[in-house]
Chains A and B, each alone.
Chain A
Amino acid sequence: MSKVIKIKRGLNIPLKGLAEKVLMRLGKAETYGVKPIDFPGLVPKLNVAVGDRVKAGSPLFYDKYRPEVLFASPVSGEVVEVRRGERRVILEVVVKTDSGDVAYEDFGAASPDSLTRDEVIARLLKAGAWPYIRQRPFGVVANPTDTPKSIFISGFDTSPLSPDMDFAVHGEEQNFQAGIDALRKLTSGKIHLVLNADYPPAKVFADVKGVEFHYFTGPHPAGNVGVHIHHIDPICKGEVVWVVNPLDVIIIGRLFLKGIYDATKVIALAGSEVLKPRYYKLISGASIESIVNDNISTEKQVRIVSGNVLTGTRVDRLGYLGFYDNMVSVIPEGNRHEFFGWIAPGVDKHSASRTFLSKLIPGKRFAIDTNIHGGHRALVVTGQYEKVLPMDIYPVHLIKAILANDIDRMEQLGIYEVVEEDMALCEYVCASKTEVQAILRGGIETMIKELS
């Protein structure tokens, strides 16, 4: 085993409602949705109109500026709705499934080893599996004309209530290997697979060939791929690294082994308001209704989040599972006033600071709601962000550079090395309730514009 990298700074948020390791197979949902808003910066153009019939793997929309990047339907059926938001922005393209088995577009099975790099890329693009590959800096869909210096895959997730990746990839040895083989064609450098040093990894990860293993241990965000890149092969100006989720490597693998776009994955349904938090095997883009069904508390008003509670997207029952998301979280809404809440001893309140009595109860798990717990203020407290960002970066200075719209400074302070998920904990701990993730995305958008 290679050297273990210990992450010291960070924070595990102990939420109630961790998913039990029971796998439920979810039947086909009535509708599936693909959401252009899952891809930051994307300007979508539709390939289909309402009423068109599609198969799994048929393109639904494409990137206006890179028309070769297609976004495919995960199931077969009929396009029934294109939901639009303000200024006619496309929010979701909804496909209603047929009865019977899913019909797949046939891309032909082919071993990645027998294909050239261009053929691998062409196949990924055509089948709509390309968007699973994201690039750093900026955390956007990779550019097919780039050659990354390396590809990173994080084999574990440390975010609150996160699914156990080892459990989620169980039994997918062949597909995972095929996916890795395909990715190996794409980079001149290495494929880094990062695993949790705290327990022996699943067979799927341990037996895979053609990757370099790394081991990390520590509190969240120790499982974030951005942290891994920072410690193993940091990004400098002009460099590009690609990242893929392990569940998505499996989907890519299927495309080569079976020749079909089969976006089946295992996700967790978790959170304090879930009656029976468990794992579900389903097809990506499934309707939230089909996942939460009658498995959530009806006593309280709840918030459903596609993804984890730090970085996920708010959805309602009529919404759909996000493209990259590996879990659905359900937590209570916090729209209530609390009498003298700011001075209460706080046995039930979680805080990274040591200002609440709850700190004295080790191992306690919390049902944290969506209340902000205070008002927005100018930044006053210092040293908070640094405690939860295990990188050689000055987060407050970076945020201030973004607010000042100082492009040189953003670059100097390391904006290439972070995306929202890496600084989500800064937002969580901030006593001034600053919206760090939104500010950071604003800065990233400025940089993308500046560099293009």
Chain B
Amino acid sequence: MKALRNYLDKIKPHFQKGGRFEMFHSTFDAFETFLFVPNTVTTKGSHIRDALDLKRTMSIVIIALIPAMLFGMWNVGYQHALSIGASWEFWQTFWYGFLKVLPLIVVSYGVGLSIEFAFAQVRGHEVNEGFLVSGILIPLIMPVDVPLWMLAIAVAFAVIIGKEVFGGTGYNVFNPALLTRAFLFFAYPSHMSGDKVWIAGLTKGQGVIDGFSGATPLAKAAAYQIDTMPSVYDMFMGFIPGSVGETSTLAILIGAAILVITGIGSWKIMVSVFGGGLAAGLLFNAFATNPYMQIPAWQHLVMGGFAFGAVFMATDPVTASQTEKGKWIYGFLVGFMALLVRVLNPAYPEGMMLAILLMNAFAPLIDYYVVEANIRRRMKRSKKVANV
């Protein structure tokens, strides 16, 4: 460690202003601060600071995503094995999925971080850790068979148009990971929906056994094939086709527990998203006119990307509501809208992505009203004083 430190100190001057590699200043800085917490001390204001920084905040989210990611890898293998009628042992299943998912992660990080580093260098900023989370979220909300070049284009679009043009992490309006998915969804719909994309190898027609369907529970529900839907147990555990990391509600709940216990994720948003979804589901149950609307409200919560969106997407602090009261409203509407889109709109099988993006756009408005209420309280007090 000492040697490493000395080495860094030795090469550091080359990366500073006037040095040979000044153009890589931000990159060097990112790696240096990754290895060592900087030695900067407080100069003004409070002399001591909380030990929590953005690196740790983001790391906790990544740790919370690990259960969903690992399960996703296994499930990719499992679904593939089902489709070809093979029965694989555990490690073989996991290994197959690992090799399928890894390229997605590499492409997502590679493209996204390169752009982030370049922008940080041009702006003279330090590299923000925000993309470390987006970069792992993106593969988890993709169909496993998405072509890598498409993924690369989508990531570039989301990072540049969705984030950097606004000023980088902290200033973006829309969740970058969801923007990636939305881009692909509208630009290349054939690769993002249907019955074949969710299972590795299916699009290439690799030896599918007779009678096998790769349809997700949502697609089946939308087609009113309620009786062929997987059991609630399978949907909760995640033994179903779907985007890589979204299928296992259990794995997602483990992540949710990590986020809530550490206080990094907002439990208010998570609870209110589930509350909003449940409310919409109950409303459908009460006025059911078709089999989809009759699905018990609570079952919606374990289907599709609902849980994943509630725990990891809606809680993104930058794009969610920023006031505590606003978080309740924002979350509720995300959940409600997601089901509305899911059940009532035949064009989109899953509503979570669009619901969150829609509410991202409305979050500042919610905050505006919450803050205005605070201002009105203060004004009222002033008027009372003026009248006395």
Q: Which residues of A contact B (CB under 8 A)?
A: 13, 15, 160, 234, 236-239, 303, 305, 309-312, 314, 329, 331, 333-343, 346, 349-356, 368-383, 386, 392-394, 396-397, 412-414, 420, 424, 427-433, 435-438
Contacts and interface: CB of A to CB of B under 8 A. Distances in A.
B167 A378 contact: yes
B56 A430 contact: no
Nearest to B8: A337
A433 B37 contact: no
A375 B33 contact: yes
B9 to A, nearest CB: 9
Nearest to B63: A343
B375 to A, nearest CB: 4
Contact of A331 (B48, B59, B378, B385): B48
Given A234-B381, A352-B52, A377-B128, 20 more contacts: A13-B48, A237-B382, A303-B47, A309-B46, A337-B37, A343-B56, A343-B59, A355-B262, A370-B42, A371-B40, A373-B49, A376-B126, A377-B54, A381-B264, A382-B266, A392-B377, A394-B374, A412-B379, A430-B50, A431-B53
B49 A428 contact: yes
Interface string B254-269: 0000000111101000
A431 B371 contact: no
Nearest to B268: A383
Contacts of B82: none
A300 to B, nearest CB: 13
Contact of A236 (B322, B327, B378): B378
Nearest to B383: A236
Contacts of B38: 337, 372, 374-375
Given A380-B317, A427-B46, A374 B54 contact: yes
A424 to B, nearest CB: 5
B266 A383 contact: yes
Contact of A393 (B126, B130, B374): B374
B57 A424 contact: no
Interface string B34-45: 011111111011
By secondary structure, the A interface counts as loop
Contacts of A428: 46, 48-50
Q: How large is the interface on B (under 10, 10 to 19, 20 to 34, 35 or more residues)?
A: 35 or more
Given A337-B39, A354-B263, A392 B54 contact: no
A350 B51 contact: yes
Which of B45, B317, B371: most chain A CB closer than 10 A? B45
A370 B59 contact: no
Contact of B371 (A333, A351, A397): A397
B378 A370 contact: no
Nearest to A338: B37
A436 B48 contact: no
Query: 7 tightest CB-CB pairs across the interface, nearest first?
Result: A374-B53, A378-B170, A341-B37, A349-B51, A437-B45, A337-B36, A236-B382
B86 interface: no
B140 interface: no
Contacts of A413: 371, 374-375
Nearest to B127: A375
Nearest to B168: A378
Given A339-B35, A341-B36, A413-B375, A346 B41 contact: no
Contacts of A427: 45-46, 49
Given A237-B382, A337-B37, A337-B38, A374 B55 contact: yes
B323 interface: yes
A435 B45 CA distance: 7
12 contacts: A160-B48, A339-B35, A343-B55, A355-B52, A374-B38, A378-B170, A380-B128, A396-B322, A413-B375, A430-B49, A432-B54, A436-B45
Contacts of A383: 266, 317, 322, 324, 327
Contacts of A374: 37-38, 49, 52-56
Contacts of A342: 37, 53, 55-56, 59
A423 to B, nearest CB: 10
Contacts of B4: 339
Nearest to B53: A374
Contacts of A238: 382
A381 B129 CA distance: 12
B122 interface: no
B378 A414 contact: yes
Nearest to B57: A431
Contacts of B167: 378
A334 B51 contact: no
B37 A305 contact: no
Interface string B239-278: 0000000000000000000000111101000000000000
A340 B32 CA distance: 10
B47 A392 contact: no
A372 B47 contact: no
A193 B44 CA distance: 31
A431 B54 CA distance: 5
Contacts of B36: 337-341
B121 interface: no
B326 to A, nearest CB: 10
A278 B67 CA distance: 51
B60 interface: yes
A218 B235 CA distance: 46
B50 A353 contact: yes
B320 interface: yes
A13 B80 CA distance: 54
A309 to B, nearest CB: 5
Contacts of A354: 261-263
A368 B264 CA distance: 22
Which of A13, A340, A378, A397: most chain B CB closer than 10 A? A378
Contacts of A430: 49-50
B51 A373 contact: yes
A372 B41 contact: yes
A237 B385 CA distance: 9
A355 B39 contact: no
Which of A310, A343, A414: most chain B CB closer than 10 A? A343
Nearest to A379: B170
B48 A377 contact: no
A436 B317 CA distance: 19
A346 B371 CA distance: 36
A338 B262 CA distance: 22
B276 to A, nearest CB: 19
Given A341-B36, A438-B45, A351 B320 contact: no
B316 to A, nearest CB: 9
B49 A355 contact: no
Nearest to A420: B45
Given A339-B35, A382-B322, A373 B54 contact: no
Contact of A424 (B1, B46, B318): B46
A436 B45 CA distance: 8
Contacts of A396: 322
Contact of A438 (B44, B317, B322): B44
